[in-house]
Structures are given as C-alpha cells and as structure tokens.
Amino acid sequence: MLGKVPPWLRGVSYAIYAFLYLPILLIVIYSFNRARFGLVWTGFTFDWYGSLFQNRMVWQATQNTLILALVSTLISTVLGSLLGYGLYRYRFPGKNTFQGLILLPVIIPDIVMAITLLLFYRFLRYYTGLFELGLWTMILAHITFQISFVAIVVRSRLQLLDPTLEEAAHDLYANTWQKLRYVTLPLAIPGILAATLLAFTLSIDDFVISFFTSGPESLTLPILIYSTARRGVTPEINALSTLILLITFVVVMGINMLGHPRQTPNS
C-alpha cells in the first residue's frame, strides 16, 4: 500500500507548479489591464482584444504562421513517414551512419542551424539568383528539421509492431504494396498522427530559424511578438498570448477527448 506524500515533497510540487504557471496567469490577468504600460492595475477592460482584432499586421502574421505550419507539416509528414518506413523496412550500406545523421537536426542548437541555412540561401541566391528570403525559404527551413522528428517518431512506432502480422499477410499472398496499404499503414497511423502534431507544434513555436530565414513580407506570430516586446510588453501582446494559450488549451482538450471516447454501458 502506498504511503502518504511527505509534506516537504508536496510543498516542492506546489512550488514547481507555481513557478511554471504563475507567469502564464499573470499574462492572462494583465491582458485585461486598462494601463498600456507598466504593471500598475488601473482597471478592467476588453479594449486590447478589440484593437488586436483590428490590427492588420497581426492578421497577416497569423496567416503567414498558419501557411508556414500547415505546408511544412504536410510535406515533412509525407517525406518523414517514407523515410521512417525505409529505415525500418530495408537494409542498405551505411544505414547506421544515415540514422545518426538524421539525429543532427534534433541535437544541434537552433541558432547553428539557422545560421547555416541563412548562409546556404545566400550562397544559392548569389550563384543562381533564386531563393530570395521569404515565406518559401522559411517553409524549406522548417521542413529541414521537421523531417527528422517525423522519421524518428514513425520509425519508433513501426519498431513496436508485431512482425508476424506482415508475415501473415505475405503467407496470404499479399504483395509489398498490399502489405503496406492494408497492414503496415493502418497500424502506423497513431505514430504518423503523433509525428504530424509534433511537427506542427514545432513549426508554430519556432522563432530562431524563422527569424534568420524570413523576408520583409513573411512576418510570423513569434517574430511579431519578439519585435513588439523589444519596445515594451503591452497589453496587446498579453492579449495575443492569451488567445494562443486558449486555442492551445482547446486543441489539447479536444485531442484528449477524442483519444478517450465515452464508454457506453453494455446492453
């Protein structure tokens, strides 16, 4: 039988939760503060949310952020899933080295990857006249690091599958395409969906790589928040952060509810 939690351990847990969530709570509270600058509470208002929805720059940054995340996630999911399946299914010379290279975008710091991508784009721009910094260069940059995460997650999922299932399909005269379509792919769907959500989250959250590979017309929400916060954190930024938190909370709760469907009593 498990014993009671010691008081000191309960206190440490409460302190950790307070350290993690009090800053978020302060952002939400001060998004309703009437004062434009400072931490002095001068009254409750919804005006900052109204001005936020009327800000064309915010809407443009939101549109760029969604286009960047959706396009890069779609491409990286397809390519990363194929790569993960290839690493799981086939053997080829240098496979171990190739698997190690896939981990590089996951391990190396974002600032290093951002600088290398920026130099690479400038090199191509100088010799080919193409790859002018903008939304498409950001999409390519995000695909570069998203593919590794997708391939790792999908390969890990495939390695957990029972190999006798594919063997049984082969015994039933299924060819390679039929085994992939009717056996492997349905079983790998949970891993592919998890990799897709991870890639989308990484794209939405990324600032460093986006900042270095963006152009003047490719402003995203993280870049907008950073550039605005440099002049001082205003209630508009707090309101924007609150809306992002709210949308994230709704999405997470929705996914959690879909993953745990309501059980009906047996008739």
Share of the chain above pLDDT 70, in %: 94
Is the pLDDT at 264 greater than 80? The verdict is no
Is the pLDDT at 231 greater than 80? The verdict is no
Q: What is the dihedral of CA 68, 69, 75, 77, to 10 degrees?
A: 170
Instruction: Parse the chain into domains and list their residue ranges.
Output: 47-238
Give the separation between CA 14 and CA 20, rounded to whole angstroms: 10
Give the separation between CA 25 and CA 72, rounded to whole angstroms: 32
| Average pLDDT of the segment spanning 58-65 | 88
- Taking all residues of the chain, what is their mean pLDDT, rounded to a whole number? 85
pLDDT in tens, 203-216: 988 999 999 999 88
In the block, tokens 């503060």 appear at 33
CA 96 from centroid of its chain's CA atoms: 27
Banded model confidence at residue 104, pLDDT cuts 50, 70, 90: confident
Those residues with Cβ within 8 angstroms of residue 174's Cβ, 6 or more apart along the chain or in another chain: 182, 183
Note the pLDDT of residue 267.
42
For the ranges 64-73, 88-97, 113-122, the lowest mean pLDDT is seen at: 88-97
Question: Where does residue 66 rank: exposed (0-12), middle (13-18), buried (19+ CB within 10 A)?
Answer: middle
pLDDT in tens, 65-90: 999 999 999 999 999 999 988 888 88
| Average pLDDT of the segment spanning 52-68 | 88
Banded model confidence at residue 57, pLDDT cuts 50, 70, 90: confident
Does CATH place domain 47-238 in 3.90.226.10? no
Banded model confidence at residue 259, pLDDT cuts 50, 70, 90: low
Q: What secondary structure does DSSP assign to the chain, as a single string? A: ---PPPHHHHHHHHHHHHHHHHHHHHHHHHTTBS-SSSS----B-SHHHHHHHT-HHHHHHHHHHHHHHHHHHHHHHHHHHHHHHHHHH---TTHHHHHHHHTHHHHS-HHHHHHHHHHHHHHHHHHHS---SSHHHHHHHHHHHHHHHHHHHHHHHHHTS-HHHHHHHHHTT--HHHHIIIIIHHHHHHHHHHHHHHHHHHHHH--HHHHHH--TT---HHHHHHHHHTT---HHHHHHHHHHHHHHHHHHHHHHHHHSPPPPPP-
Note the pLDDT of residue 119.
93
pLDDT in tens, 153-177: 999 888 888 777 777 777 677 777 7
Q: Do residues 78 and 151 make contact, with C-beta atoms less than 8 angstroms apart?
A: no
CA angle 36, 41, 45 (to 5 degrees): 65
Give the separation between CA 37 and CA 189, rounded to whole angstroms: 48
